[in-house]
Amino acid sequence: MAMFDIDVPYDRTKLHISLPEECVAGVLEGHQSEFKAEGTQEQLIERALDNPYSSPTLEELCQNKHDIVIISSDHTRPVPSKVTMPILLRRIHAAAPQARVRILVATGMHRPSTHKELVDKYGEEIVMHVATDDDAMIHIGTLPSGGSCIINRIAAQADLLLAEGFIEPHFFAGFSGSRKSVLPGIASYKTIMYNHNGQFIHDSHSRAGVLAGNQVHEDMMAAAEMAGLRFILNVVLNGDHEVIGAFAGDIHDAHEAGCSFVRELAGVKAVPCDVAITTNGGYPLDQNIYQAVKGMTAAEATLDEGGIIISIAGCSDGHGGEGFYRNIAENDPAEFEKSCITRAKSDTLADQWTAQIFARILAHHPVILVTDLCDHDMIRAMHMTPANTVDEAIAIARDLKGADAKFAIIPDGLGVVVTR
């Protein structure tokens, strides 16, 4: 019997999938790892900064500035700051040697990064954004949705606000990057929860790869404009988290260029199947269940009602949020999703958005979570079936769907935009 074999990312290592070829309906994989960039990571970044989209150069923007703030992603994002940040800082210090330069870590609603996580990324003056610290916030306007735009005072009062980040498909904002550095990155929890409301999340435009008509995205872009985000450096990564594309300049045009690049590489067609095996791209993106939901949405997009999702994710950091855990563990998924859709925007619960999407998935698909790094009782409490190995998960799926079940394999659920 001919076998299909593939290794997929899991935590800081890989796990092996082996299936009979006749059982494999298809492999949904982007072309990021096949793309051959012209130059090293550093050369790509330098070239992007030399040729910004619809913007003066970084050096020109830095002239006569005294308080420069760079928004950077936290420990849950694989932004290669060890590559990008030294280049940014060298150029900034050369152009504005008199300026105070601070790195503002965009935690959004994530937990603060630990000292070790920060040391692994940076070497400059660092400020940790805490979304619940009202004293550190300032109101700067009203979002198109009607919510208050409240952001970190350090960013709002900077002479020059910059952001580094990366662009990939995002499960309800369309794509990451650019405006997400501000909202949710350095926004108040009040603004984040209003933007991430149940109606917006439920809308069919709030999906990976979709920007047109996406109200979540429109609010985020408005927040970035109000904050005065003047310049971005966003990169695109391959499966090894190496830079294969870099886009700098205007928050609209540089972002759109990066999104177009990702669309070309990440677009895949759904395949009919009984079971979809997905991952969250390995560490740091699979360090908790909250993040792993993103990879599950790629599997959801290729399955019909009742199709099984096998999620391979280490989840060494557990569920990823007490509110998220309680929203799922203490409710029937279908009922919780309904309650989110009907809840007023101003009454959005903490961590409601990912829980709402997870509840939507659980209401329509059995989920098997493959991990030996996470408490299995907690997984069961969250309406999933735990498995220690891929083979164990496949056996469970076959018990449910039959020995002839067809499997789709998504080696990196965050690296694809699945369309029908």
- Per-residue model confidence as pLDDT tens digits over 200-235: 999 999 999 999 999 999 999 999 999 999 999 999
- Domains annotated for the chain, with CATH where assigned, are 3-28+270-419 (3.90.226.30), 41-265 (3.40.50.11440)
pLDDT at 111: 58
Predicted model pTM: 0.88
pLDDT at 119: 55
Checking if the pLDDT of 123 tops 60, the result is no
pLDDT band at residue 60 under the 50/70/90 scheme: very high
Which tens digit of pLDDT belongs to each residue from 350-406? 889 999 999 999 999 999 999 999 999 999 999 999 999 999 999 999 999 999 999
CA proximity to 357, closest of 374, 341, 380: 341
Task: Please say if 110 is a catalytic residue.
Answer: yes
Q: Could you say which of 75, 170, 319, 383 is catalytic? A: 170
pLDDT band at residue 75 under the 50/70/90 scheme: low
Task: Please say if 196 is a catalytic residue.
Answer: no
